[in-house]
A and B are shown apart, each in its own frame.
Chain A
Amino acid sequence: GQQVMQIPQYQHVQEGEDFTTYCNSSTTLSNIQWYKQRPGGHPVFLIQLVKSGEVKKQKRLTFQFGEAKKNSSLHITATQTTDVGTYFCAGTLYSGAGSYQLTFGKGTKLSVIP
């Protein structure tokens, strides 16, 4: 079945340092979404990338979708303590009969040391 791999599993950074998490799929994706889950909370949608090679920015966050639509990355510039949480990528694959399946990676847990 479809697999979405995400690395690293954990990342500890000093406040102000940059952070990047990478996502890789075994199959070509229709699109990729990114979610953030705070400790004890539920996943919250950040962004969706659809086009090959797409790059989107949200303030200090930069999201990229690979040319082959099989990989993606999230980069945070100058991390802040409010960035703490687990970041998940989720790849969408069309599974036939009008059905899409969203497969989540295992996530990257970000800790920010003040």
Chain B
Amino acid sequence: DAGVTQSPTHLIKTRGQHVTLRCSPISGHKSVSWYQQVLGQGPQFIFQYYEKEERGRGNFPDRFSARQFPNYSSELNVNALLLGDSALYLCASSFPSAGTGELFFGEGSRLTVL
């Protein structure tokens, strides 16, 4: 069975640009969460979506947005990139609800902003 898949795995952008990161959850999982992990730190919660609705938002600026599609895949968008946005962006899916179950993480998208 396929795990959580994320794309792209690595990308380099320059300040001010926009980026879209994609995530496909494990089949049957309806909840997707996004986390930002800066080197040497723990993952920081950005968004959670369940059944295509936003169920939670972390302390991130409005430059960060996300959405979940009918097939439960998700996109994370970041506008007006800053150097400080350089990080590993992790997507995690969970089953069955938007509650407190085990998170299955993807390998992540490593973003470098120059």
Overall SS of chain A's interface: strand
Query: How many contacting A-B pairs (Cβ < 8 A)?
Result: 63
* Nearest CB in chain B: distance from A105 CB, A: 5
Q: What is the size category of the interface that chain A forms with chain B?
A: 20 to 34
* Nearest CB in chain A: distance from B85 CB, A: 18
Q: Quick check: B106 and A42 within 8 Å, CB to CB?
A: yes
Q: Quick check: B55 and A98 within 8 Å, CB to CB?
A: yes
> Is A48's CB within 8 Å of the partner chain B?
yes
Q: How far apart are the CA atoms of A97 and B54 in the complex, in Å?
A: 11
Q: How far apart are the CA atoms of A62 and B105 in the complex, in Å?
A: 23
A interface residues, Cβ below 8 angstroms from B: 1, 6, 30-31, 33, 35, 41-45, 48, 88, 90, 92, 95, 97-107
In the A-B complex, the 4 residue pairs with the smallest Cβ-Cβ separation, listed nearest first, are A104-B42, A42-B105, A99-B56, A45-B102
